[in-house]
Amino acid sequence: MKTITASIITIGDELLIGQTIDTNSAFIGQELNRIGVWLRRRIAVGDVRAEILQALEEQSRDNDIIIITGGLGPTADDITKPALCHYFNGRMIVNEEVRQNVIGIFERIGRPVTEVNLKQAEVPDCCTVLPNRRGTAPGMWFEKEGAVVISLPGVPHEMKGLITDSVLPGIQERFPLPVIRHRTLLTAGKGESELAAHIRDLEENLPASIKLAYLPAYGMVRLRLTARGEEETSLVAELDRHFGLLRERVREWMVIDEDLSLAEALSRLLRERQKTVGTAESCTGGIIARMLTEKAGASAFFQGSVVAYANSVKQEVLGVPAETLALHGAVSEATVRAMVTGALRSLGSDYALATSGIMGPDGGTEEKPVGTVWIAVGSRERIEAQQFRFRFDRGRNIELTANAALNLLRRFILQDEPA
């Protein structure tokens, strides 16, 4: 079966200068891969007509599908629609369905419709309009010389709706697609190169239809097996067999055998055991609380957080003794142990974790250089503390500290209450 390939072109000066982070491509890539389309390239271009046309021409040469996001607004700097109209030798017409959608949206929010807003209803006559149920800019489907070009709004919420409602079903109907299946597990505590050496023989014995990918992050490595073929039953059986071998080999460092984050794995563990957690954060500034509450349902296990950045807050809110801070300092085992005790008391949770460290770029000493971190986790029965020495910039040190704290608590709970 022929491999169906795709390219993503994101349009906008704000992407090139870093003012806006491109999250659209990640979502589109995941969704295309899920249905068996192989993403070959991701390209960003500015709001320049010639560059848009050049990127479109180049990507159409060796891809079956080109998905474009951005530049579909009603203002003068949004030039994707007229550029596509020119490329496909069309002319602009008013689509009445889109026009009524624009009018309906403004009526619902109680605002007048301007001529600029109604320009959203103008589309090239050579496209198939993809209705946008979440906004005013329609999607557009073009075909030329066997290639499909799909233009979508850059607003992530609108783009996702169009991908789900129209683009994926259209691609599945238009192209014969292979079966692609993934199995992913998350590890912590062992680096990418060490893992690669540890499982080298397993990787070398994988069949041609299965590939192993290493996806390192802050203190963690995802291992993903991807199987590709035409017959689903035998493909999945072979994939599961090799995933079982991989899982057993890395069991010592495995956090979870699903494609979940460390925070999600810990959240599931707490829900399964019907336990709660609270955080006392100094150097991480509340990021651990945010990670634990990002997904819906956090109220079932998360009690709250004290961001005790100042020593006065450590003393007055968490009850860290003044003599502890004076004798050992804020970045010390004694302090984070006291912070855990204070969090358990003030937040009423079953478990608590505490962080205190020197994130940089300044503040380090010879005894406690930048990157020195103390983390404690515990319950009313016992508390464990561990020192870490990170060596990166402030942002990475904070992320590493947060993940180390989550993993330390996860291991503590498993020791406390084995499955």
pLDDT in tens, 236-287: 999 999 999 999 999 999 999 999 999 999 999 999 999 999 999 999 999 9
Comma-separated ranges of CATH 3.30.70.2860 domains in the chain: 179-256
pLDDT band at 211 (very low <50, low <70, confident <90, very high): very high
3-state SS of the chain: helix, strand, coil percent to 5? Answer: 45, 25, 30
Amino acid 1: pLDDT = 74
Region 138-142 average pLDDT: 96
CATH topology of domain 5-174: Molybdenum Cofactor Biosythetic Enzyme; Chain A (3.40.980)
- DSSP secondary structure, 330-370, as one string: SSSHHHHHHHHHHHHHHH--SEEEEEEE--SSS---SSS-T
Q: What is the mean pLDDT of the chain?
A: 95
pLDDT tens for residues 302-319? 999 999 999 999 999 999
Is 74 a residue whose pLDDT tops 90? no
Amino acid 357: pLDDT = 98
Amino acid 419: pLDDT = 60
Amino acid 202: pLDDT = 97
CATH superfamily for domain 262-416 = CinA-like (3.90.950.20)
Whether this prediction's pTM lies above 0.85 is answered by no
Nearest-angstrom CA–CA distance, 66 and 54: 13
Amino acid 116: pLDDT = 86
Q: Where are the alpha helices (DSSP H) in 10-130?
A: 13-16, 24-35, 49-61, 80-87, 96-108, 115-118
Strand partners, 302: 277
Nearest Cα to Cα of residue 38 among 130, 175, 151: 175
Is 77 a residue whose pLDDT tops 90? no
For the structural domain made of 179-256, what CATH number should be given?
3.30.70.2860
**Is residue 355 within 8 Å of residue 283, measured between CB atoms?**
yes
pLDDT tens for residues 386-397? 999 999 999 999
**Is residue 10 within 8 Å of residue 43, measured between CB atoms?**
yes
Comma-separated ranges of CATH 3.40.980.10 domains in the chain: 5-174
**Is residue 97 within 8 Å of residue 139, measured between CB atoms?**
no
